[in-house]
Amino acid sequence: MVKGKVKGIIANLVSVEVDGPVAQNEIAFIKMPDASLMSEVIKITGNIAYVQVFESTRGLKVGTEVEFSGHMLEVELGPGLLSKNFDGLQNDLDKKQGIFLRRGEYTEPLDKEARYDFKPIVKVGDTVQAGDWLGSVKENWIDHKIMVSFKLEGKWKVKSIVSEGNYRVKDTIATLENDEGETTEVTMVQRWPVKKELRCYREKPRPFKVLETGIRIIDTFNPMAEGGTGFIPGPFGCGKTVLQHAISKNAEADLILIAACGERANEVVEIFTEFPELIDPRTGRKLMERTTIICNTSNMPVAAREASVYTAMTIAEYYRNMGLKVLLLADSTSRWAQALREMSNRLEELPGPDAFPMDLPAVISNFYARAGMVYLNNGQTGSVTFIGTVSPAGGNLKEPVTESTKKAARCFYALAQARADSKRYPAIDPIESYSKYLEYPEIQEYLNKRLGSDWVSKVYNARNWTLRGKEAYDQITILGDDGVPIDYHVTYWKSETIDFVLYQQDAFDEIDAITPLERQKYMLDLITEILESEFEFNSFEEVGSYFKRLINIMKQMNYSPFKQEKFLQYEKELREAIAERRKNA
């Protein structure tokens, strides 16, 4: 075991003189009198290793002994991860004594005495490789696959496997043998380094399916692909956390992972207190049953903030290898970037814009690249869809973290202060936001096949009307209501119809809170009919009152059960109202 001694201390950055070889990202333990402090090697210069400490360094002195473990920061993977609250080091926060974890206190993430009913999938003599399924157990209501160790190389044969029965997670459930005669035992638990992508899959294609969220301004106008990436930037108080809650509750995903990577305590308290009470609309059970929370608040050391996003991604990749659709939400990646900036500054590295590290875009891009849909060795698919939030200072969307994330993520859901102030929720700016997946031929083909051959063109048409409506509103504001032709008012109010009926959504209404894609299509078809109709008006006063009437009818349709009696009554009323003013009706 390589050892060393502390030579210098700058807050959570500690320089260590070592007596042997150490590796980048290797874990070291600083031997304080009252605790062993876990740390990670982030830079090596000669015989000096710089480590970032995951704990408070209060009381640490020069000359303190350090031991290097010989392995990187790893997470423990196995049954029992769901419904848990972990920190970035995978300590089980429900096992802590008191309010905080004591310094140097590390808890077991999985209950080693827990027993599960195991059902074998393979039989003796079968050939397997890393990541292949050996059997399954029930974790809540999820089929949790027990897999061949991800660290094994080459082909292995199943020498023995236990029969169906009840076993502890550390019991040997299979023995594998390779061509050289080497054998290895497999349990339900294995470990994997968090900074390394878990690549036990056959192929990683471009996304070709849409992940439904039930949120109209996302699904219709800025669709998120299954296995895609996106981020939500916006000023404080515009609804980033609430939007993430809505997505996690309604999205068409099997599992939800939430990484609170350094957000302020009040947002995190909401996750811990409100999230366990949410009902899953798909199953009627508690949403927490298919959720895992990784939590590091802003008062925790910067190194722990960085670890939390990687721990969450590794767990997400683990469940992806079971053929599941995983949705990973990070709040907020700005705090992670600020942690990188703090450590970079302490290392006296050359600063980039706003003192962030020069390699910040590369770090963010590499992390986002770990998401995606994959084909597993058995031909089935699994996916990790990643949506992060960014908290730019003062709502400045030109700052480095937002700009760097824009290069990596394919969906940009910009929250606008003006929309939040006018209570237009979700406050996603319909003009600034975009989804690059809408340009993918595979996604266009998927949407057109499911929703009609002209679906994508209708979406672009509605977006165009929104832009035209903004231009008309600017002219009306400058020249006055009676200073522009009536057509300007008609254009503006047609765009307002799109806004009130499709962009805005009531998260507190049982029906309007989640809108299936087929219902979104139905409402967009109605809106398209209004957009393409020509109406007769004698004055601009008539325009506003008429479109307010149409908007009110359509909002009532949003609150009514789809295609049932009330819904159809409002639709009939709407068509009668349209006929009143339509030219050549």
* pLDDT score for 106: 84
* DSSP three-state, residue 34: coil
**pLDDT exceeds cutoff 90 at 583:** no
Number of CB atoms found within 10 A of residue 43's CB: 15
User: What's the pLDDT band for 264 if we cut at 50, 70, 90?
Assistant: low
Distance CA 486, CA 542 (A): 10
* Average pLDDT estimate for 193-203: 94
* Average pLDDT estimate for 365-374: 97
For 301, the enclosing helix (H) or strand (E) is none
Phi, psi of 271 (to 5 degrees): -65, -45
Least confident of 68-77, 149-158, 231-240: 231-240
When computed from its CA atoms, the radius of gyration of the chain, rounded to whole angstroms, is: 27
* DSSP three-state, residue 260: strand
Least confident of 139-148, 301-310, 445-454: 301-310
* pLDDT score for 287: 87
pLDDT one-digit tens code per residue, 547-571: 999 999 999 999 999 999 999 999 9
Distance CA 532, CA 258 (A): 43
Tokens of 484: 């522009």
Longest Cα–Cα distance of the chain, Å, equals: 90
* pLDDT score for 539: 94
Phi, psi of 203 (to 5 degrees): -155, 150
Map out the domains of the chain with their CATH numbers: 3-71 (2.40.10.170), 111-191 (2.40.50.100), 216-434 (3.40.50.300), 452-581 (1.10.1140.10)
Distance CA 243, CA 247 (A): 6
Closest CA to 171 of 109, 114, 128: 114
Question: Is 187 buried (19+), middle (13-18) or exposed (0-12) by CB count in 10 A?
Answer: middle
Least confident of 110-124, 266-280, 313-327, 487-501: 266-280
**pLDDT above 70 coverage of the chain, percent:** 97
* pLDDT score for 265: 61
**pLDDT exceeds cutoff 80 at 96:** no
Distance CA 556, CA 167 (A): 54
The residue type of 242 is: V
* Average pLDDT estimate for 266-271: 70
pLDDT one-digit tens code per residue, 494-547: 999 999 999 999 988 999 999 999 999 999 999 999 999 999 999 999 999 999
* pLDDT score for 393: 84
- Please compute, for residue 190, the number of CA atoms within 13 A of its CA located in the half-sphere on the CB side: 23
**pLDDT exceeds cutoff 70 at 50:** yes
**pLDDT exceeds cutoff 80 at 282:** no
* pLDDT score for 100: 65
Least confident of 301-305, 365-369, 576-580: 301-305
User: What's the pLDDT band for 99 if we cut at 50, 70, 90?
Assistant: low
Cβ atoms of residues 134 and 148 within 8 Å: yes
**pLDDT exceeds cutoff 90 at 162:** yes
85 contact partners, CB below 8 Å, separation of at least 6: 92, 93, 94, 272, 293, 295
Residue, of 424 and 265, whose pLDDT is higher: 424
As beta bridge partners, residue 190 has: 77
User: What's the pLDDT band for 1 if we cut at 50, 70, 90?
Assistant: confident
| DSSP secondary structure code for residue 481 in this structure | G
pLDDT one-digit tens code per residue, 399-430: 999 999 999 999 999 999 999 999 999 999 99
* pLDDT score for 395: 84
- Measured distance between the N- and C-terminal CA atoms of the chain, rounded to whole angstroms: 87
**pLDDT exceeds cutoff 70 at 98:** no
| DSSP secondary structure code for residue 227 in this structure | T
User: What's the pLDDT band for 295 if we cut at 50, 70, 90?
Assistant: confident
Least confident of 244-248, 431-435, 532-536: 244-248
**pLDDT exceeds cutoff 60 at 585:** no
* pLDDT score for 304: 79
* Average pLDDT estimate for 31-50: 94
Closest CA to 214 of 567, 568, 562: 562
**pLDDT exceeds cutoff 90 at 267:** no
Q: Concatenated DSSP letters for 418-442?
A: HHHHTT-SS-B-TTT-EEGGGG-HH
**pLDDT above 90 coverage of the chain, percent:** 81
For 483, the enclosing helix (H) or strand (E) is none
Distance CA 77, CA 190 (A): 5
Pure H helices in 216-354: 216-219, 240-250, 265-274, 302-320, 333-346
